[in-house]
Structure 1
Amino acid sequence: MNIINFTKANCKNCYKCVRSCPVKAIKIKDEQAEIVAERCIGCGICLHSCPQNAKSIKSDLETIQEWIKDGQKVVVSIAPSFPAAFNLKKEGQIVTALKQLGFYAIEETAAGAEIISLLYKDFYYRKDYNHVITTSCPTVNYLIERYYPHLVKYMVPVVSPMIAHGRLLQRQFGQKVKIVFIGPCISKKFETLHFQHDRVIDAMITFDELHRWLEEENISIENLPSTSFGQTYCNRARWYPLAGGVALSSLDKEDKGRKILKIDGLENCRELLSYLDNGELENTWIEINACDGGCINGPGNYESPWGKYIREEKVKEYITKTIDVKKQAKNLHFEAKDVYKTFIERPICSKMPSPEEIKSILKQIGKHKKEDELNCGGCGYNTCREKAIAVYQGMAEKYMCLPYMRSRGETLSNFIIQNTPNAIIVLDHNFHIIEFNPSAEKLFHWENVQVLKKPIEMVMEKSGFNEVKNHSPLIYRGKRYLPSYDLVVIETVLYIKEQDMYLGIFSDITQEMSNKKALDEMKTNTLNMAQEVIDKQMRVAQEIASLLGETTAETKVTLTQLKKLVQGQEGDIYSGKLY
């Protein structure tokens, strides 16, 4: 499972996530958005850009709750941006809240940042580095490794404060405890997985996840007493979550020799990285952070009760209360193997299409010449050619072009409306005509320009429109005779609620009805003729029967007489009277 996922059922093809993704790590396949893990830099921008809320983040919350339920010791490393995430009267209230949730100990991640700051200062003076790029932000680290791999040579080869602190906590509490990081960053989830083989940080949740957990447990953090953090002391490194805070934590005012650049916000980061090696800048020390304004505005701090500038003030207030410029952080013993890390060039290898292949893809979506390339960004890409390249690389689909699909849809719908044999009339909510197609003109003998914006009664006094006028029923279908035109029509009328308008479709069945009437008359005449033939046949049969009866009787009489005559002659012969 990826850290960030999109819910297929909710994706509505708005491409807002593609548009917001600074590295175009979101792939559209079968009209659904999905994260391409090897391209993703974990910035989390897409999470809050989706209007359908069609995304999910891999959460360790249930796992942490199970550890606590099972009685395991779970230690928290909490990011120094926590004052910007919660409504705290006293900063120690966050410690009390976490204790009530069942955590064994709560420590500040800034202790790990104290170690990393010492190393950043060392690299400030390294002569073999033309540029020194800080590596506390995992998102920027992924960005450089994947999209600016030629700059990996300038990255300070040390772990993030989270990892450094995790190793401090392992040494302090032993290997059997579970270590959980809580902070404002989504990319820390990625980083936790990358260090899974070392089991430095066992789980990670964002401030937003902690907000929801506290709500579920009905813990009102602003009403809790204050409790002190653990034993590991930290000082200047609490500046880390603010833009420019790494420099404040790592360097002194008297540090000279390099140009110090403080860059925050992904667009600014990309702009700098794109020309860093072109010779315009030399001998720099670059504090670089993906989030605009620093970690306090991370994507895992979305539910903060404070606005951007108030968050900054809350962190500054906390620092002012706790910082002691004369003291150095203590209990920060570490070994080189605990803090050094090798960054690797991991370039995104994607085959590029030829100019002919780009042109072919553009033609398939109706872009035959330069003027057709609107570069509107509706698909999520800045230019039509960028989108065509994404199509070639399997990251986008051809028909993500909204102007093309709209044009195609309008052309198709207009073609159907203009060429259908059925009369189509569309009315607005005032029952005025707003569409009157050519078939309607032909059927009702009105021209479009004559009836547009006129009441329907101008064309027909009674119709199915009257049946649905009160939206009950929403659809009507029936047969109607229109005496004004001597027409019989089948009418289908429906109310379209979303647009608050009425659609009427009228099919002329006058000829069919006329043919049916003629056929009915033919049937009636045929039946009448058949009845006459039957009646005549009956009469003939009766007459024949009568004649047959008379002739039969006469024949019987004649034969009877003939029989008697013959029988009488035979008697005379046998009696001898004839001799």
Structure 2
Amino acid sequence: MAVINFSKANCMNCYKCVRECPVKAIKVKDEQAQIVEELCIACGNCLRICPQNAKEIQSELVTVKTYINKEYKVVASVAPAFIGAFKFDHAGQFVSALKRLGFSHVEQTAVGAALVSKEYSEFYNNPCEDNYITTSCPGVNYLIQKYYPSLIASMIPVISPMVCHGKTIKERYGEEAKVVFLGPCLAKKLEAIEDNSIDAVLTFDELNKWFQKERIVLNELPIESFDAEDLAASIYPIAGGISATLDKKIDKKIFKVDGIDNCVQVLGSLEKNEVKSTWIEMNLCNNSCINGPAMPEEAENLYLRKYKIEKYVHNCEKNNKSWQQKEVSINNAYLKKEFINLSSSFAIPNEEEIRGLLKDIGKIREKDELNCGACGYNTCREKAIAVYNGMAEKNMCLPYMRQRAEMLTNVIFDVTPNAIFILNDDLDIINFNPSAETLFNVARDFALKKPVTILMEDDDFIDVRDTKRSILSKKVKLKHYNLTVLETAVYIEEHKAILVIMIDITNNEKKEKKLEELKLNTLDMAQEVIDKQMRVAQEIASLLGETTAETKVILTKLKKIVQSKEDDI
């Protein structure tokens, strides 16, 4: 079950998450970063450094509120790092805040840490030459299980303080009780899925936002006591804190290792058998749990967190105060845990396949392999192997994509039939393409760094520079060149420059002029024909009128003659 991932809408292809992931558990598909669950160690590095804040963390806040609303017995297991994570005058105010949210009981996870330390002490005092690696940090456990499985035998087979505390809560309050772990760790969300003693996990960041929503101000609340705590084990979240709680009966070499890079170095040495009979307290986060990835945004700085925890523990020791309310125990059998191999294998392409993948991104020769790391991988070959396994895309090579873009831009600039030139804020020419050379009959070398007035009037460009308003397809007559052009001038704010594009429409203008003349001539000819037709019609009408009159006269005379003859008869 994935508990962390990226928001699809926000990924900007910066590959920073891939660069920062220590185990390269991030897959890029369709230009979207995705966390590959089977490879992830839940360190939270990628989400913490994402510049777009494109993180999605599976929250169980609704589940916890449901437990509370249904009146379950909801017990909070609070990681001791809370002392440095929140601002309050007294730790009891934090207890009061949780009770206001609806938690029926509030205990410190340090109760489980104390029990784990007792079990750890048995292994520490073993005089054998075996190396032992603490298993309180689930991120370290996943790192070993997934990437250093040969070292699983060195992992102390003991459950974490969180799980241990959850088991004691279930024993003391009943299996129906709901255990909610509160801490600064994302890996705990994954660990809780594996064990039914923890019903939900909320990070300190989630809890702080819940406080804010409910308008709970910690230092304004009354002081209440934890239902169970172990003050000495509250030192656990500081680097070396686990070792400080051990009952040491023999002298053994101790490595206090925190931070992923340091963990990887030590695990590498262990794989090579360079270290023997060593107790290794290992935490994935730099400076251990007080620097967990899910601390509240408003938390104190790292060193103040450490100071507050150390002061808290010191004051408790000074007052000889080790337990409150009741002492907790657990069946030792419940403390055992078996760690298994979770490693995944990648297909390794042969040399020919690697060369083919490199060639696809312009890496023809060895010197073309810049190994710049912009894609997130240390070398071009590592990137090629990632592409082969579907973990990366070819176009993630930024130098290659930039080279392609520049080449395409240059080709367009050089071969376009339109004249293009660029002016700086002083209206001097800073770029000049071949078509502009042809249009203005001026060599590029001569035009560069010269004022645009060597070509034409600069009134339009002054207006564009001063108003920042573009000119689009304005018809301009270049009388000196006997040309007509469509002028576009765009102000580029970020470069303080003006891009000028001129389309030569002189021939089109001439054709349009000829066409206009042809139209006018045609109209004149048509009018002349019409006039002639009218004259002919009038002449015909006149002739017809005369002949009709004559005919009428003749017929009238003929009629009279005929009538006179009839009268005589």
TM-score by length of 2: 0.93
Partner of 1:12 in structure 2? 12
Q: 2:278 aligns with which of 262, 268, 284?
A: 284
CA 1:66 to 1:454, structure 2 compared with 1: closer, same or farther past 3 Å? farther
Q: Read off the aligned partner of 2:26 and give its amino acid letter.
A: I
Q: Deviations over 1:448-481 (max 9, x none)?
A: 3333344433432156434534436445332122
CA RMSD, aligned part only? 2.6
Does the residue aligned with 1:56 lie in a helix, a strand or coil?
strand
1:114 aligns with 2:114: yes
1:396 aligns with 2:392: yes
Partner of 2:526 in structure 1? 530
Q: CA deviation at 1:185?
A: 0.7
Q: Read off the aligned partner of 1:394 and give its amino acid letter.
A: G
Q: 1:234 aligns with which of 219, 222, 230?
A: 230
Q: Where do 5+ consecutive residues of structure 1 fail to align?
A: none
1:338 aligns with 2:334: yes
Q: 1:457 aligns with which of 453, 456, 459?
A: 453
Aligned partners of 2:109 and 2:229 also within 8 Å? no
Q: Read off the aligned partner of 2:188 and give its amino acid letter.
A: K
Partner of 1:255 in structure 2? 250
Partner of 2:301 in structure 1? 307
Q: CA deviation at 1:305?
A: 3.1
Which stretch has the larger CA shift, 131-140 or 331-340? 331-340
Q: Where do 5+ consecutive residues of structure 2 fail to align?
A: none
1:45 aligns with 2:45: yes
Aligned partners of 2:125 and 2:250 also within 8 Å? no
Which stretch has the larger CA shift, 387-396 or 276-285? 276-285
Does the residue aligned with 2:467 lie in a helix, a strand or coil?
coil
Measure the CA separation in 2 of the matches of 1:11 and 1:146.
27
Q: CA deviation at 1:278?
A: 1.5
Aligned partners of 2:26 and 2:34 also within 8 Å? yes
Partner of 1:471 in structure 2? 467
CA 1:280 to 1:568, structure 2 compared with 1: closer, same or farther past 3 Å? same
Measure the CA separation in 2 of the matches of 1:361 and 1:340.
47
Q: CA deviation at 1:526?
A: 2.2
Q: Read off the aligned partner of 1:35 and give its amino acid letter.
A: I
Q: Read off the aligned partner of 1:206 and give its amino acid letter.
A: T
CA 1:444 to 1:148, structure 2 compared with 1: closer, same or farther past 3 Å? same
Measure the CA separation in 1 of the matches of 2:522 and 2:198.
97
Measure the CA separation in 2 of the matches of 1:518 and 1:307.
80
Does the residue aligned with 2:473 lie in a helix, a strand or coil?
strand
Q: 2:258 aligns with which of 264, 270, 280?
A: 264
Aligned partners of 1:464 and 1:477 also within 8 Å? no
Partner of 1:209 in structure 2? 206
Q: Read off the aligned partner of 1:519 and give its amino acid letter.
A: L
Does the residue aligned with 2:281 lie in a helix, a strand or coil?
strand
1:409-424 mapped onto 2 (5 Å cutoff): 409-424=405-420
Q: Deviations over 1:401-425 (max 9, x none)?
A: 1111111111111111111111122
Q: CA deviation at 1:562?
A: 7.2
Measure the CA separation in 2 of the matches of 1:226 and 1:558.
142
Partner of 1:505 in structure 2? 501
Partner of 1:92 in structure 2? 92
Measure the CA separation in 1 of the matches of 2:83 and 2:62.
25
Q: 1:355 aligns with which of 345, 351, 356?
A: 351
Q: CA deviation at 1:90?
A: 2.6
Q: Deviations over 1:320-359 (max 9, x none)?
A: 1113799987834211332111100111122121111111
Does the residue aligned with 2:378 lie in a helix, a strand or coil?
coil
Q: Read off the aligned partner of 1:337 and give its amino acid letter.
A: A
Measure the CA separation in 1 of the matches of 2:496 and 2:12.
24
Measure the CA separation in 2 of the matches of 1:82 and 1:103.
16
Measure the CA separation in 1 of the matches of 2:544 and 2:469.
72
Partner of 2:63 in structure 1? 63
Does the residue aligned with 2:476 lie in a helix, a strand or coil?
strand
Aligned partners of 1:236 and 1:325 also within 8 Å? no
Aligned partners of 1:468 and 1:476 also within 8 Å? no
Q: CA deviation at 1:182?
A: 0.9
Q: Deviations over 1:254-286 (max 9, x none)?
A: 522x43212110011111112312132222221
Q: Deviations over 1:381-412 (max 9, x none)?
A: 11111111111111111101111111111111
Measure the CA separation in 2 of the matches of 1:101 and 1:556.
124
Partner of 1:141 in structure 2? 141
Aligned partners of 1:4 and 1:56 also within 8 Å? yes
CA 1:233 to 1:523, structure 2 compared with 1: closer, same or farther past 3 Å? closer
Aligned partners of 1:16 and 1:50 also within 8 Å? yes
Q: Deviations over 1:503-529 (max 9, x none)?
A: 222111111111111221122122212
Does the residue aligned with 2:254 lie in a helix, a strand or coil?
strand
Q: CA deviation at 1:289?
A: 0.7
Aligned partners of 1:475 and 1:495 also within 8 Å? no
Partner of 1:518 in structure 2? 514
Does the residue aligned with 1:276 lie in a helix, a strand or coil?
helix
Aligned partners of 2:80 and 2:236 also within 8 Å? yes
Which stretch has the larger CA shift, 562-571 or 287-296? 562-571
Does the residue aligned with 1:71 lie in a helix, a strand or coil?
coil
In our comparison, the structure showing a higher alpha carbon Rg is: 1
Q: CA deviation at 1:251?
A: 4.4
Partner of 1:159 in structure 2? 159
Q: CA deviation at 1:239?
A: 2.2
Aligned partners of 2:188 and 2:201 also within 8 Å? yes
Measure the CA separation in 2 of the matches of 1:550 and 1:475.
71
Q: Deviations over 1:50-83 (max 9, x none)?
A: 1111111111223223333333322111111122
Measure the CA separation in 2 of the matches of 1:234 and 1:298.
21
1:218 aligns with 2:212: no
Does the residue aligned with 1:107 lie in a helix, a strand or coil?
strand
Measure the CA separation in 2 of the matches of 1:393 and 1:336.
44
Which stretch has the larger CA shift, 517-526 or 147-156? 517-526
Q: CA deviation at 1:563?
A: 7.8
Which stretch has the larger CA shift, 557-566 or 347-356? 557-566
Measure the CA separation in 2 of the matches of 1:73 and 1:440.
81
Measure the CA separation in 2 of the matches of 1:354 and 1:465.
58
CA 1:99 to 1:310, structure 2 compared with 1: closer, same or farther past 3 Å? same
Percent identity for Structure 1 against Structure 2: 51
Task: Give aligned pairs, total.
Answer: 567
TM-score by length of 1: 0.91
Q: Deviations over 1:186-237 (max 9, x none)?
A: 1001111111xx3x1111111112221222222222333433222x352432
Q: Deviations over 1:288-328 (max 9, x none)?
A: 11011111011011525322222211111111111379998
Aligned partners of 2:316 and 2:322 also within 8 Å? no
